[in-house]
Structure 1
């Protein structure tokens, strides 16, 4: 299937996208997928961030170029713009939480940014079966989010936002636990420092040697760690962060594509267009137009 055929939806199967910047929706996996033969074909959301919580069952999941088969209890993070598809075994149980990207924009100015931002940027599979306490403490928050979205009460949108952020912080903790089982404390701290450095300097287009120098380690060690934990090289992590910012500015800014290119540190707007198309398979202009239409 060519990428030009990958549809852009609000929610899967819906041709219209809610313009509400506080949009928050939760539904059973069964409610949308069972009528479709438990199969959700490849698609993406321009302005929606999603969290799937699998309670039981069997699922084959594609997130961009990653494909996994998941059994039992899992959390699946689907950032805005990520191409994803699902093949669920019948009777798979779980919830799908869809959040308007603008609802999470404030995270970037909050104290919780260091905990939440990595999850907003990277497609992620989180095994909730490693520790029985993980799912047991996570699921009540999911249920509370569902209650808040189903009853008209004062402060409903604000409460939903706070609960989503609490959910993301908990998921961040589980990612840390998963990483720490495969890395010693030094390596875990090194990766955290790298993510922070990328966040501070991605607009400067630093090379891998620059990051390794600042972290007082070798390029080989740094790339080995990022590939083992994130399945990406240091260069790829930097490019993905730059790409995410480019998508945000194309969607939410009124600046021209040339102005956005310069703001993102590209000397040549033509090179910015080639960079963006290599990662999204669309030109910046095509991406902006599709998101305006949807």
Structure 2
């Protein structure tokens, strides 16, 4: 197995069209099975399943998907398609720069439940009439992308994509009404969201809860209470989970040795990294690397 490739967004016709739609079957065929192995993207993908059953690997978790499911993956996640005969659908791919036309757009990407990193793997099942509304928007976007680009196109594409994402966010909220009312819209939820963003950014150099509490202008006790209320885990557990997740991502990258990965993640000694990894996964980094290769 080679290293984890990060695929950048590539506009199809012109650099202003930083949104693209392709069928899942065509993406797998064009990729010549490259998308069947773990990879990253630097863009968002909405997977809309229109037929069959399959699974999609996201950060080493197999997610079962079937007709009516809509799965969301975000930049940086390691994921891979699975090839099944009757499995198909649409992929709506877009860059952050494309969607970011106002501060409200930026806020949506950072705080919407469908992309919220409190829920690193988000999948919603739509009933047939609801799915048809999503597919209608996909067809509108596809048709617009075939037209000659002009001063109106980006706004039209953005509006249709916004409608698709808002319908998905509404569906998520409806399916998780009790949870969203009691947790997702609270101050604790916002605090934990910001905490996890900071952890994702700084975990290599900062592993102390005190640092993150200081950055968030709260006490360690307040942060502890928030993470336990929202996720049932301590801040330290969440920091360790991020380190383990990135460890697994890098262990797929066979060009890096276990020793190099340990140093990359901030461990002073390879043995310390090995003990840490085994404590939380039950196996050594070398065994994990061998099993997944």
Q: Same fold (TM over 0.5)?
A: yes
Which position in structure 1 is the counterpart of 2:181? 185
Which position in structure 1 is the counterpart of 2:104? 111
Q: Is the 8 A contact 2:192 2:223 kept in 1?
A: no
Partner of 2:37: helix, strand, or coil?
A: strand
TM-score normalised by structure 2 residue count: 0.61
Which position in structure 1 is the counterpart of 2:6? 8
Q: Which has the larger radius of gyration?
A: 2
In structure 2, runs of 5+ residues without a counterpart are 203-209, 247-261, 268-272, 274-293
Residue 20 (structure 2) aligned to one of 4, 25, 34: 25
Cα pair distance change 1:218/1:64, threshold 3 Å = closer
**Superposed counterparts of 1:139-150, under 5 Å:** 139-150=135-146
1:175-204 CA deviation, whole Å, 9 max, x = no partner?
2223335x3722333364335654897789
Report the CA distance between 1:98 and its aligned residue. Answer: 1.7
**Superposed counterparts of 1:1-294, under 5 Å:** 1=1, 5-10=3-8, 20=15, 22-34=17-29, 40-104=35-99, 106=100, 110-118=103-111, 119-120=114-115, 122=117, 123-129=120-126, 131-154=127-150, 155-180=152-177, 183=179, 185-190=181-186, 192-195=189-192, 197-198=194-195, 205-207=211-213, 210=218, 213-214=221-222, 217=225, 219-224=227-232, 234-235=238-239, 274=265
Q: Distance in 2 between matches of 1:189 and 1:25?
A: 32
Q: Distance in 2 between matches of 1:75 and 1:275?
A: 37
Q: Distance in 2 between matches of 1:238 and 1:179?
A: 25
Q: Distance in 1 between matches of 2:219 and 2:16?
A: 36
In structure 1, runs of 5+ residues without a counterpart are 244-270, 279-294
TM-score normalised by structure 1 residue count: 0.61
